[in-house]
Structure 1
Amino acid sequence: MRDPVELAAAYLEVPSVTGDEAALARLVGEHLDAAGLRVEVVAGCVVARNHGGDSSATLLVGHLDTVPGELPVAVDELVLRGRGAVDMKAGLAVAVALACSEPSVPVTVVAYPGEEGPITGNGLAHLVAERPELLAGARGVLLEPTGGFLELGCQGVVRATLRLRGRRAHVARAWMGRNAIDRVGEALGTLRALERREPQIGPVRYREAIEVVGVRGGVAWNVVPDLVEIDVSYRFAPDLDAARARQRLEEAVRPVMDDGDDLEVAEAVPGAVSDLGRFGALRSGAFGVRAKLGWTDVAQLVAAGVPAVNFGPGDPELAHTDQEMVEVAEVRHVAQALWRWLHA
């Protein structure tokens, strides 16, 4: 098998912050093309196949982009360091290494831009919309960092802003107004009281999160504020669809809302449930099985009809941090586990 560590080191040397992935896409495409795969570029996605459209193909999927913040690249016998080492250039390198090593089974590699930004710029979403036939396959692995664990499905996401109104007045005559910021406490208490569900789905348990991630208000030092905005992030278990999760949040805040208040939902994206039966042989090569806490593009693969799981090198708790690093041994372990699974 081609050495995934060597590829990961090369990819770390090419900056690829969201919106600036073209150079890395070219390098990945060159590696796959040199190995004899059929390479196409669609909506910024590099798609490479060793087959002509086999519906039994295995999809190996990873994103090209990283979050901003340059980090020095350092590679030695033990670790790879640099921006994107964990999320997810090591996983992308594993996918490319496997496909370049002449597997005896049909494989499709998808390397896509825009994962770290809003869903409107997600390259995989555009690929699904424009060329869904390129994603035909019997199973898929998203090589997001999982620390070598097999992580099933993913949570859905609701992002919303609760706007509570008041009435302006001069602070010297505050009784003539209504301070919108005074209403924050009741809203926070209501959100805090909302049950964080922990449903068991198959062999794993999901844990929901509902967090206030931003509060904005105030006009000037001498003005009673007439508006406060509360940003809420709800990560919901995949036994709920997006509509039901949205409804659950709306019902929770309704008791604190008065005429003129509103809840604006900016995004409601469903999660996904993984069919572990399709990946039983991979389980033996993983360090364990657990639920994916967070949203990943496994949801898009499952929605496109491809059963999928998350499995890749790197500690997800180091993703996006200035301590981003991945162990060389873990990169090779994940690559070998996938190689054995592909040929099982």
Structure 2
Amino acid sequence: MKEKLVEYLTELVKIPSVIGNEKEIADFVHSFSKRFYPEENIIRYNNSLIVYDRIEPDRKTIALIGHLDTVPGENEYTGQLIDGKLYGLGASDMKAGLAVMMGLMEAFHKKDKRFNLIYVFYEKEEGPYIDNGLEPLLSQFDIIQKADLAFALEPTNNTVQVGCLGTLHASIIFEGKRAHSARPWQGENAIHKAADFLKRLADFGIHEYEFHGMKYLEVMNATMVEFSGGRNIIPDRFVINVNYRFAPGKSIDEAKEDVLKLVNGEAKVEFTDLCPSGSVCLYNPVLTKLIHQFDLPVEAKQAWTDVARLSLYGIDAVNFGPGDPAQAHQKNEYVPIENLFRNYDIFHSFIEK
């Protein structure tokens, strides 16, 4: 199977699938799935797929979940295996996880196993929360909700990462009065009005937050700005995009209140993207069995993933994949090939009856 895993991943990274351009890779996975499952066990929705076993009620069900898209990026070594690293855009985030899913599909489509399996391949994970391709699969089909545990094969270096940070974006809008920069007293500088807020934001630092025994780090940062006017104009509008990453156990409303407190009424606030945090399901019996059987390290997920979306639907989910998180969204992204083999071996041994 090692050679096939390399083959699958090589083919996947050679298919461009920057967010919004997932049709070709969805067609590829769809064609692959039809080799092992009948059409009645395959759901195709736009450029997303659910492939599933007949659910046997006497055994637990596992969902394996991976997104098909990548961020834009460059890779000079696409499809090459160099010094034990396979290169390509999305190699770590998260086409290595997709290759593992394909390998498991081939290995277990007719083989007796301990769990029912559901495979989910979906589009548009790398964009806004509202456009995410997993949402319609969850809202329009109930098969994924049958899972006793879902694994998002996001890059974790084969560490089990539980929960995930929530994230929100807010536009902090400072308004002033336009004037010529040679006569600033005739106007009101919207950029200067943001000075006190920016100082408080810079001083926000890192807030440690413990939840169910796991330590999460809350951070809030300015990530983009926009303004009106030109270089010789006192601007009458200055907008700061603030990104807040908040820990499990904190609601979206509580996170919004944290931002409003920091703004302190000095500017208008428009919340533009609101993504909940993911639940911490450390006591899920399927998960505890996996962790103990393979003596896997466990840590908090210091980022947002669709574990949060699955949590909203009452599905216990964790992040566990072969990719290297430090390689995600990097130029010349790669995955250590041994990570790929290790992840497959763990899943295969765990699922095998």
TM-score range, shorter chain: over 0.9
- 1:262 matches 2:268: yes
1:252-310 per-residue CA deviation (whole Å, 9 max, x = no partner) reads 1125x1xxx31110012111122122211222436521111111001111211210100
Tell me the equivalent position of 2:104.
Answer: 98
- 1:318 matches 2:327: yes
116, 122, 143: which one aligns with 2:126: 116
Matching of residues 8-27 of structure 1 within 5 Å? 8-27=9-28
- Distance across 2 between alignment mates of 1:177 and 1:244: 36
- 1:283 matches 2:291: yes
Structure 1 residue 195 displacement after superposition: 6.0
Would you identify which runs of 4 or more consecutive aligned residues in structure 1 move more than 6 Å?
none
Matched to 1:180, the amino acid is A
- Distance across 2 between alignment mates of 1:70 and 1:202: 39
The TM-score, its normalising length taken from structure 1, stands at 0.92
1:166-205 per-residue CA deviation (whole Å, 9 max, x = no partner) reads 1122233221221111122211112233363211222421
Matching of residues 1-344 of structure 1 within 5 Å? 3-36=4-37, 38-52=41-55, 56-71=60-75, 72-75=78-81, 78-102=84-108, 104=113, 105-194=115-204, 196-255=206-265, 257=266, 261-278=267-284, 279-284=287-292, 285=294, 287-343=296-352
Matched to 1:321, the amino acid is Q
The TM-score, its normalising length taken from structure 2, stands at 0.90
The answer to whether the 8 Å contact 2:204/2:219 transfers is no
Structure 1 residue 216 displacement after superposition: 2.2
Deviates more, 1:228-237 or 1:212-221: 212-221
The answer to whether the 8 Å contact 2:223/2:242 transfers is yes
- Distance across 2 between alignment mates of 1:96 and 1:204: 32
- Distance across 2 between alignment mates of 1:156 and 1:182: 31
Inter-CA distance 326–286: structure 2 relative to 1 (3 Å threshold): farther
Deviates more, 1:42-51 or 1:106-115: 42-51
- Distance across 2 between alignment mates of 1:336 and 1:80: 18
Q: Secondary structure at the match of 1:267?
A: strand
- Distance across 1 between alignment mates of 2:34 and 2:325: 30
Structure 1 residue 5 displacement after superposition: 2.6
Deviates more, 1:86-95 or 1:10-19: 10-19
Query: Taking every aligned residue pair, what percent have the same amino acid on both sides?
Result: 31
Q: How many residues align?
A: 340
Q: Secondary structure at the match of 2:107?
A: coil
Matched to 1:61, the amino acid is I
CA-based RMSD of the aligned residues comes to: 2.0
Matched to 1:281, the amino acid is K
- Distance across 1 between alignment mates of 2:137 and 2:195: 44
